[in-house]
Chain A
Amino acid sequence: MQWYNRDTRLLPAQGLPLLVLDFCLQQQLDCHRLLRGTRLFLDDVLQHNPAVSPEQLHRLLDNALQLLRSDDSPFLLGQRLLPGHNGSASQALMLAPNLYGALELLTELQPLLTPLLTPKFCMDDNYGYLYWLDSCGAGKLEPALVEMYTVAIVAFSRRQQGQHLPWEVSFCHSKPPHIEQYWVHIGEQLQFDQPCNLLRIPRQQLFHNWQNSGITARLARQQAQQQLQQLPACHSLLDTTYHLIMQALSAPDQGRPLQLEGLAQSMGLSPATLKRHLKKHGTHFQQQLDLARLHRALYLFHTRRLSTDAVARELGFHDSAGLRRSFKRWTGTTPSHLLTLWAPAD
C-alpha cells in the first residue's frame, strides 16, 4: 500500500504521543481519563514504544484538550512540538541551515514531524507560503491542530533565528474569543475567516543564515529519510488524493474534469472502496476536489497573476461567472476581494 489510513498504526508512541502525555501529566491530569478510548497504556508506551495510529492520536489530543479546559493549552503544546522527539528527523530539523531548509525538511519528513497536518510550501517573488492540509480527517479538532502547529512553526523559527519573524497568518476559522493567546503566541498579523490556513513570510527571511550545516546535518537527514522508509507508507490517504487531484488539475489538456472513477483507478482501487475510505476520513470526493480547485485557483490568481477568465479555463469551468459562483461557495467571498486582502504589504 502506498498510503496510510487514519487507523494505520505507524507513529512511534514515544514521539508526539508521549510529548502530549508528558505535557498533560505535568498539568496534573489524570492519566486514566487522558488515555480513555485511545487503547494506549502509559507503561506500554514507556516500555515497548508501540506504533500509534493517527486516529488514536486524535483521540488522545481530544481528551487532553477537553480535560485541560484552558484556552492556552494548544498554544503551550504547540511551543513544545518542534523539533520534537523524533530521533533523526528532529535532529535534522535542529541542524537546518535556514528557514527554507527547515520548511523543506518539514514537508519532506511530514509523517514524522507533523503527522496530523500536512504542510505545503510554495514561494513567489515576494513571499514564502506554508499552508496546512488536514492529513487524517481531524474533524472538529482541526482548528486546535492548526493553532498548535502554527505556534510550533512560529516558536521554532524564532528560537532558531533569535528574533521575532514577521509571519502573517491566515486562519479558516473565525476570530476566537481568546484572541489574546494568538497575539502572545503567534503575533499581531492575523486574519480570520480565510480560505486556507496559511503562514506567509517575506522571501528574504527564508534565507537568513541560522548555522553552517555540515556533514552532521546531511547525515541526520539521511537517517531521517531511512526512518521515513521504514514507515508503512510516506503519505496519508488524503494527501495522496490531494496530490493526484492537483496533478490532474495542472495538466489541463486532458480536457475532461477528473471524476471519482479516474481517481480510484489511479490509486488502484475500486470507486466504491475509495468512497468508503474517504467517508472514514470524514470527507467525500467532491469536497476534496473543491479543496484542490480552490488551492489551485488561489495559486494561479496570486502567484501566476492570471485573470479570472484564464483561471476559469485552467480549472475546467465554462466561463468566469461559473468560477466566481464556485469561489463564493468555497470561501464566501469573491476572488478579487480575496486578492486585495493578500496583496503584498508594500
Chain B
Amino acid sequence: MTSFFRLHTAKLLALLALANALLLLYLGAGDLKSVQQWSWADISGEGGSALLTLLWLCLILNSRPAGRITTLLTLGLGLMFLAWWVDTMDEFIQLPPTIQWDHWLESVPMSCGLLLLTYGLYHWHHEQLAISVQLQKRERLFRDHRYFDRVTPLSGAQYLRRQIDLTLQANEQQPASLIALDLDDFDTVNQRYGHSEGDRVLQALSQLLLLNLRPQDLLCRLAGDRFVILLPHTGEAAANGIAAELQQAIASFAYRNSQQGERIRLQASVAVVMAGSETPEQLLERLQLALCRARQPLALRA
C-alpha cells in the first residue's frame, strides 16, 4: 500500500488539488444550503459515483504497468471523478442563478473523460490481443487467474479440465488427443540440488515444451513434475509423434544447475490417449493409467 502511494503521489496530489480548487471556486461563488434542502438520494447517488470512480482509478494505477494506455485510462477516470465531484457539490452549495459555468464544469469533464476512457479501452483491447499471442500454447479462449500455477508460467489441472470440456464440446467430429509427460526420477533432482532448483527445472522445462508445440496446442502443469498437453484436431498417431519428439527434446535438453553449472540429465515418460465420448475426469483417469503403464521402473540404485 505504501509503495502504491509513493509511486503515484504526483497524480493523486494533482487530482486532490483540482478537486480542492473546484471546492474553493464553488464556496466563493455560492452559499451553503441548509440541511433541509439536502436531497439524500442525489447526494448518495452522485457522491457514491464519485467515490467508485476514484476507486477504479486507484485499481487501474495499482494493477497496470505505466504506459500510454494507463495514462489514457487514468486521465479519463480522473476527469470523470471531477465531473461527479462538481455534481455532488451542487447538492451542498447553492450558486446564484446568474452563473452559467457550473453546467459546463459538469458536462465538459464528463464527456472528455468518457471519450478518453473509451479511447484507452480501445487500445487496451489491442494490447490484450498482443498479450494473447504471447500466451499462445498456455491459454486458449478462456481466462481465470485462479487456475494459474504458482511455480511455472502455466495453468493448472482445473484449467485443463475446463479446456478439455470446451474442446470436446466444440468439435465432436474432430479427434482430440492428450499427452501426459512425467519426469523420471525428478525426486532425485529435488533431493540432490534442493527444491528451489527443482522448481527452476520445471520452469525451464515448461519453456522448452512450449517451444516444441504447435500454436493451437495447450500445455498445462497437472501436478508436481507431470505435464499434460491438449492437442485439438489431432489423431492418436500424430499425437504419438509429437510425444516422441517431446521426449527426445527433454533427453537432449542441457539444463545446468544455477550454482555450479553442472548438467542435470532429464528423462521423461509419456503416454497418449485420444478423447472418446467421456467426461474430462474419465479421460484424465485413462491418461493417468496409460502413463502408469508407460512409466519405466526406476533403475535400481547401484
Q: Do A and B associate with each other?
A: yes
Q: How far does the Cβ of B195 sit from chain A's closest Cβ, in whole Å?
A: 7
B260 within 8 A of partner (CB): no
Interface size on B, residues (CB 8 A): 24
Given A70-B150, A178-B157: A162 in contact with B299 (beta carbons within 8 A) = yes
**Complex alpha-carbon distance, A162 and B295, angstroms:** 14
Q: Assess the B187–A159 pair: CB atoms within 8 A.
A: yes
A185 within 8 A of partner (CB): yes
CB-contact partner of B222 in A79, A158, A184, under 8 A: A184
Most buried by A among B150, B158, B191: B150
B190 surroundings in chain A (CB, below 8 A): 79
Most buried by A among B222, B225, B301: B301
A26 surroundings in chain B (CB, below 8 A): 195-196
Q: Assess the B196–A164 pair: CB atoms within 8 A.
A: no
Within 8 A of B (CB), among A174-219: 177-178, 180-181, 183-185, 188
CB-contact partner of A180 in B191, B223, B289, under 8 A: B223
Q: Assess the B297–A164 pair: CB atoms within 8 A.
A: yes
B13 within 8 A of partner (CB): no
Q: How far does the Cβ of A120 sit from chain B's closest Cβ, in whole Å?
A: 27
B200 within 8 A of partner (CB): no
Given A26-B195, A183-B288: A162 in contact with B224 (beta carbons within 8 A) = no
The majority secondary structure among interface residues of chain B is: mixed
B254 within 8 A of partner (CB): no
Q: Assess the A79–B157 pair: CB atoms within 8 A.
A: no
CB-contact partner of B226 in A76, A164, A184, under 8 A: A184
A163 within 8 A of partner (CB): yes
Interface residues on A, range: 20 to 34
Q: Assess the A180–B195 pair: CB atoms within 8 A.
A: no
Residue in B closest to A185 when the chains form the complex, CB atoms: B224
Q: Assess the A180–B284 pair: CB atoms within 8 A.
A: yes
Most buried by A among B191, B222, B223, B226: B223
**Complex alpha-carbon distance, A79 and B301, angstroms:** 20
A72 within 8 A of partner (CB): yes
Given A158-B187, A180-B284: A163 in contact with B297 (beta carbons within 8 A) = yes
Q: Assess the A155–B187 pair: CB atoms within 8 A.
A: yes
B292 within 8 A of partner (CB): yes
CB-contact partner of A184 in B150, B224, B297, B299, under 8 A: B224
B99 within 8 A of partner (CB): no
A149 within 8 A of partner (CB): no
A71 surroundings in chain B (CB, below 8 A): 223
Q: Assess the A162–B298 pair: CB atoms within 8 A.
A: yes
B25 within 8 A of partner (CB): no
Given A162-B300, A163-B300: A180 in contact with B222 (beta carbons within 8 A) = yes
Q: Assess the A188–B288 pair: CB atoms within 8 A.
A: yes
Residue in A closest to B196 when the chains form the complex, CB atoms: A26
Within 8 A of B (CB), among A121-179: 155, 158-159, 162-164, 177-178
CB-contact partner of B224 in A75, A80, A159, under 8 A: A75
Most buried by B among A155, A158, A188: A188
Q: How far does the Cβ of A185 sit from chain B's closest Cβ, in whole Å?
A: 6
Given A26-B196, A155-B187: A72 in contact with B223 (beta carbons within 8 A) = yes
Residue in A closest to B224 when the chains form the complex, CB atoms: A184
B158 surroundings in chain A (CB, below 8 A): 177
B226 surroundings in chain A (CB, below 8 A): 180, 183-184
**Complex alpha-carbon distance, A136 and B150, angstroms:** 32
Residue in B closest to A162 when the chains form the complex, CB atoms: B301
Q: Assess the B223–A184 pair: CB atoms within 8 A.
A: yes
Q: Assess the A185–B223 pair: CB atoms within 8 A.
A: yes
Q: How far does the Cβ of B218 sit from chain A's closest Cβ, in whole Å?
A: 16
Q: How far does the Cβ of B301 sit from chain A's closest Cβ, in whole Å?
A: 4
**Complex alpha-carbon distance, A155 and B187, angstroms:** 8
B187 surroundings in chain A (CB, below 8 A): 79, 155, 158-159
Residue in B closest to A70 when the chains form the complex, CB atoms: B150
B295 surroundings in chain A (CB, below 8 A): 164
A72 surroundings in chain B (CB, below 8 A): 223-224
Given A178-B157, A184-B224, A188-B292, 16 more A-B residue pairs with CB atoms under 8 Å apart are: A70-B150, A71-B223, A72-B224, A79-B190, A155-B187, A158-B187, A159-B191, A162-B299, A162-B300, A163-B297, A164-B298, A180-B157, A180-B222, A180-B223, A180-B284, A184-B222
Q: List chain B positions with a Cβ less than 8 A from chain A.
A: 150, 157-158, 182, 187, 190-191, 195-196, 222-226, 284, 288-289, 292, 295, 297-301
Sample (6) of A-B pairs whose CB atoms are under 8 Å apart: A76-B195, A80-B195, A162-B298, A163-B297, A180-B226, A183-B288
Q: List chain A positions with a Cβ less than 8 A from chain B.
A: 26, 70-72, 75-76, 79-80, 155, 158-159, 162-164, 177-178, 180-181, 183-185, 188
When A and B form their complex, which 5 residue pairs have the shortest distance between CB atoms, in order from nearest?
A162-B301, A184-B224, A184-B223, A163-B298, A180-B223
